[in-house]
Amino acid sequence: MSVSSRAATACLEFDAVGLTFPSRSGTPVLALDSVSCRFAPGKVTAIIGPSGCGKSTLLQIARGLLQPTIGGVRFVALGGNAEQMAPEMATVWQAFNLFPWRTVLDNVAFGLEVTGVPRVERNRRAREALARVDLSGFEHKYPRQLSGGMRQRVGLARALVMEPEILLLDEPFGALDAQTRLVLQEQLAGLVETTRTTAILVTHSIEEAILLGDTILVMTARPGRVAAELTVDLPRPRSLATTHDAGYGALFDRIYGLLRDEVLRAMSAETG
């Protein structure tokens, strides 16, 4: 898989972002608590944390689909300090979120269609994007007719066709079976290595975070805070073989150690 994408022009920064939302009981719930971080341009940042820690929420805030209660999101131009407009971004969703009444081709072309790209042009670009995820020949199928892995490749093509400068991956393989997941993880690892796209990957798989990430942000249980920021300096290209590396084992244990306490805390908060 290769991909067209834009080289990073700006760096995404979170500045003390906090989010509270109203709950049924009336007392507002603090979902994110003063999250500050910098997402290195041209790199993959993996965000890992216990369920309900607000990691998917973080992505929606980055995309501008959700406004933080306090703090802010900034895009700082590279090689300077000037703040700039949000660059092109696109999201790949855990639940695929494909439009079931649209064919594969029309799903991939959706973003171009709503931004006014003429039909011939958008179909050409959508076909190209589908070829990049090895789905040529499936243009006129409906999502229902595809397997889970193929649907998520459609989801990926639908994001890539927008030529995003920042690719947001919201547990993209969470709904897939273990084998499909392994293959797609390897393919995505290859994809991010050959392009200089900034990617933010939300996951609850330690393995996925290490395999794909340059940096790993470990989050705490709700309210979500950044517990640790780890650098993955394992050599690329990475594949399943990377998991036999001594450095991999040490990093895995370190992340598991950080997560274990948080997961236990989240579980006791649920039952208590």
Partner 1 sequence: MAEQVLPTGPAPARTTPRLLGAPQTLAWASVIAVLLLWESVVRLAHLNPIYLPAPTGIVRALIDLFANGRLGIDLLATLWRIFAGFAIAVVLGVLIGVWMATSERMRAIADLFIAALYPLPKVTLIPLLIIWLGTGGPFMLTISALGAIFPVIINTVVGIRQCDPGLVLAARDLRAQSHQIVFKVLLPSAIPSIFAGIRLGLGVSIILVVAAEMVVGKTGLGARLFLAGQVLETEQVFAVLIVLAILGIVVTKAQDAIDAWLSHWRLD
Residue 114 binds partner 1, judged by CB under 8 A? yes
Q: In what order do the strands lie in the sheet with 166-170?
A: 89-92, 166-170, 198-203, 44-48, 215-219, 226-231
Helix/strand/coil for 168: strand
CA–CA gap between residue 207 and residue 209 (Å, rounded): 5
Q: Which stretch binds partner 1 (CB under 8 A): 107-115, 188-196, 205-213, 261-269?
A: 107-115
Select from 80, 100, 235, 272 the one that contacts partner 1 (CB under 8 A).
100
Residue 95 binds partner 1, judged by CB under 8 A? yes
C-alpha dihedral over 112, 212, 86, 218, to 10 degrees? 140
CB atoms < 10 A from the CB of 51, how many?
13
Residue 85 binds partner 1, judged by CB under 8 A? no
CB of 145 to partner 1, least distance (A): 6
Q: Give the residue with the Cβ less far from partner 1, 123 or 242.
A: 123
- Number of residues near partner 1 (by CB under 8 A): 24
CB atoms < 10 A from the CB of 102, how many?
15
Nearest alpha-carbon partner for 131 in 173, 161, 87: 161
Residue 111 binds partner 1, judged by CB under 8 A? yes
Contact 242, 248 (CB under 8 A): yes
Q: Which stretch binds partner 1 (CB under 8 A): 42-50, 72-80, 96-104, 196-204?
A: 96-104
Residue 158 binds partner 1, judged by CB under 8 A? yes
Interface residue list for partner 1 (CB under 8 A): 60, 63, 65, 89-91, 93, 95, 97-102, 110-111, 113-115, 142, 144-145, 158, 162
